[in-house]
């Protein structure tokens, strides 16, 4: 459909003023067909009909999708429209216009615009049909993951081995467990519960909660809900320690609660996050690994701020190397980065669980290398 659509878009664009073009030509190609024609495959063979697309767009309002991906409006305009930083290009002053009533966006910076499907295409850098899959999964997986996370939370206190593991990692306070919505996957009981709630087995498999063989995917794992995913830390030394469900690990952990701080501490693991939060730090976030995805880099750079990188100080130096590489990347994007040097062989979690306290960690932040 690529060539047909492009040709039609070019035709539609002809002879119209730049101003009129806004919200007519610039948005997604489907909006260019006024009389309910289907998104057309070759020679009119129906691939996806317009009704299906309209339904999808109605179920996923553009504004809701943007906000779920951390987009925040910077100011309001007339007729209920909003302006904010563009999530599609490096934007320094708000040039991204959203019209929630018409479910359309347009960026004055990069000149791109359209509906929620077009946004998903550009944002996730996927094709049109892949964008439909992403949106359908997002729509379908959200309630499913919520139910799974709640189930795991209930399991936590029923399993002494899970609570003991959390204690050993410095996670004790009920307030912290509640804040991070920490749960436990014993294995062998999630599938039945979710099906009882009305979720379908294919949906569980598609989300990765249940394996192709029909078993719970997470067994003996501490579970942390993320945005659009669940991270599972194994209690068993024979299993791979870290697991995510298929798909993106999402943005920075709890970013909405952190983004207003001018100084932010970035750690690589959720247990590092947990002990720092437990010690009273609130300007803290986690990248879930030393490699930041585009979205996470974008978040760190969405306002002027200093980022303290408190990665593992492992004996082979890989954590510190990753921190150095990242600080270079951040500096190239105009973000101040400072490297926190933990004692050798420590990560923030072991630093606190082996006797370090808030005051000592503050000293490490103050000594952080520019
Ligand atoms: Zn843009």
Question: Rounded to the nearest whole angstrom, what is the distance from the C-alpha of residue 107 to the centroid of ligand 1?
Answer: 5
Question: Rounded to the nearest whole angstrom, what is the distance from the C-alpha of residue 231 to the centroid of ligand 1?
Answer: 31
Let me know: does 274 contact 349? Beta carbons within 8 Å: yes
Question: Rounded to the nearest whole angstrom, what is the distance from the C-alpha of residue 235 to the centroid of ligand 1?
Answer: 44
Question: Rounded to the nearest whole angstrom, what is the distance from the C-alpha of residue 143 to the centroid of ligand 1?
Answer: 30
pTM to 2 decimal places: 0.72
Domains plus CATH for the chain?
2-125 (3.90.580.10), 140-244 (3.90.980.10), 255-366 (3.40.1360.10)
Question: Rounded to the nearest whole angstrom, what is the distance from the C-alpha of residue 105 to the centroid of ligand 1?
Answer: 10
Question: Rounded to the nearest whole angstrom, what is the distance from the C-alpha of residue 98 to the centroid of ligand 1?
Answer: 12
Question: Rounded to the nearest whole angstrom, what is the distance from the C-alpha of residue 21 to the centroid of ligand 1?
Answer: 16
Let me know: does 228 contact 247? Beta carbons within 8 Å: yes
Question: Rounded to the nearest whole angstrom, what is the distance from the C-alpha of residue 368 to the centroid of ligand 1?
Answer: 35
* Cross-strand bridge partners of residue 73: 84
Between helix 128-156 and helix 116-124 the angle, nearest 10°, is 80
Instruction: Tell me the pLDDT of the chain (370 aa) as tens digits.
Output: 333 333 333 333 333 333 333 443 333 333 333 333 334 333 443 457 788 888 888 888 899 899 888 788 999 999 999 999 999 998 889 999 999 999 999 999 999 999 999 999 999 888 998 898 888 888 877 789 999 999 999 999 999 999 999 999 999 999 999 999 999 999 999 999 999 999 889 889 988 999 999 999 999 999 999 988 899 999 999 999 999 998 778 889 999 899 999 999 999 999 999 999 999 999 999 999 999 988 898 889 888 899 999 999 987 888 889 999 999 999 998 899 999 999 999 999 999 999 999 999 999 999 998 7
Question: Rounded to the nearest whole angstrom, what is the distance from the C-alpha of residue 86 to the centroid of ligand 1?
Answer: 5
Question: Rounded to the nearest whole angstrom, what is the distance from the C-alpha of residue 111 to the centroid of ligand 1?
Answer: 6
- Measure the CA–CA gap between 85 and 97, rounded to whole angstroms: 9
Question: Rounded to the nearest whole angstrom, what is the distance from the C-alpha of residue 60 to the centroid of ligand 1?
Answer: 21
Question: Rounded to the nearest whole angstrom, what is the distance from the C-alpha of residue 110 to the centroid of ligand 1?
Answer: 4
Question: Rounded to the nearest whole angstrom, what is the distance from the C-alpha of residue 101 to the centroid of ligand 1?
Answer: 20
DSSP 224-243: EEETTEEEEEESSTTS-SEE
Name the phi and psi angles at 232, rounded to 5: -120, 125
Question: Rounded to the nearest whole angstrom, what is the distance from the C-alpha of residue 57 to the centroid of ligand 1?
Answer: 21
User: How far lies 290's CA from each of 68, 266, 286, 326, 350, in Å?
Assistant: 24, 10, 9, 8, 17
User: How far lies 239's CA from each of 103, 182, 235, 247, 279, in Å?
Assistant: 45, 20, 8, 20, 30
* Cross-strand bridge partners of residue 40: 46
């Amino acid at each position: 459909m690529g060539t047909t659509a492009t040709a039609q878009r070019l035709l539609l664009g002809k002879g119209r003023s730049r101003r009129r073009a806004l919200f007519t030509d610039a948005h997604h190609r489907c909006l260019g067909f006024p009389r309910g024609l289907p998104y057309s495959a070759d020679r009119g063979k129906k691939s996806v009909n317009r009704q299906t697309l309209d339904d999808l767009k109605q179920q996923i309002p553009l504004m809701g999708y943007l906000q779920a991906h951390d987009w925040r409006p910077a100011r309001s305009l007339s007729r209920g429209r909003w302006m904010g930083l563009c999530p599609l290009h490096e934007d320094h002053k708000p040039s991204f216009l959203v019209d929630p009533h018409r479910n359309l966006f347009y960026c004055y910076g990069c000149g791109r615009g359209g509906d929620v499907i077009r946004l998903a295409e550009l944002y996730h850098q996927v094709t049109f049909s892949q964008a439909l899959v992403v949106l359908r999964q997002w729509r379908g997986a959200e309630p499913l993951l919520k139910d799974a996370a709640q189930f795991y939370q209930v399991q936590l206190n029923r399993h002494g081995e899970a609570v003991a593991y959390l204690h050993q990692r410095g996670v004790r306070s009920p307030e912290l467990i509640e804040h991070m919505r920490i749960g436990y996957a014993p294995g062998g009981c999630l599938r039945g519960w979710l099906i009882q709630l009305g979720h379908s087995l294919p949906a569980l498999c598609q989300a990765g909660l249940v394996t192709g063989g029909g078993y719970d995917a997470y067994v003996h794992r501490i579970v942390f809900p993320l945005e659009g995913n669940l991270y599972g830390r194994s209690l068993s030394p024979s299993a791979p320690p870290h697991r995510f469900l298929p798909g993106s690990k999402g943005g920075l952990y709890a970013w909405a609660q952190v983004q207003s701080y001018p100084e932010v501490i970035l750690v690589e693991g959720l247990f590092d996050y947990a002990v720092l939060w437990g010690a009273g730090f609130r300007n803290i976030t986690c990248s879930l690994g030393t490699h930041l995805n585009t979205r996470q880099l974008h978040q760190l750079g969405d306002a002027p701020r200093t980022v303290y990188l408190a990665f593992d100080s492992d004996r082979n130096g890989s954590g510190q190397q990753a921190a150095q590489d990242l600080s270079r990347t951040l500096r190239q994007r105009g973000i101040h980065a400072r490297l926190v040097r933990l004692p050798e062989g420590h990560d923030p979690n072991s630093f606190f669980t082996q006797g370090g306290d808030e005051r000592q960690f503050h000293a490490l932040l103050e000594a952080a290398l520019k």
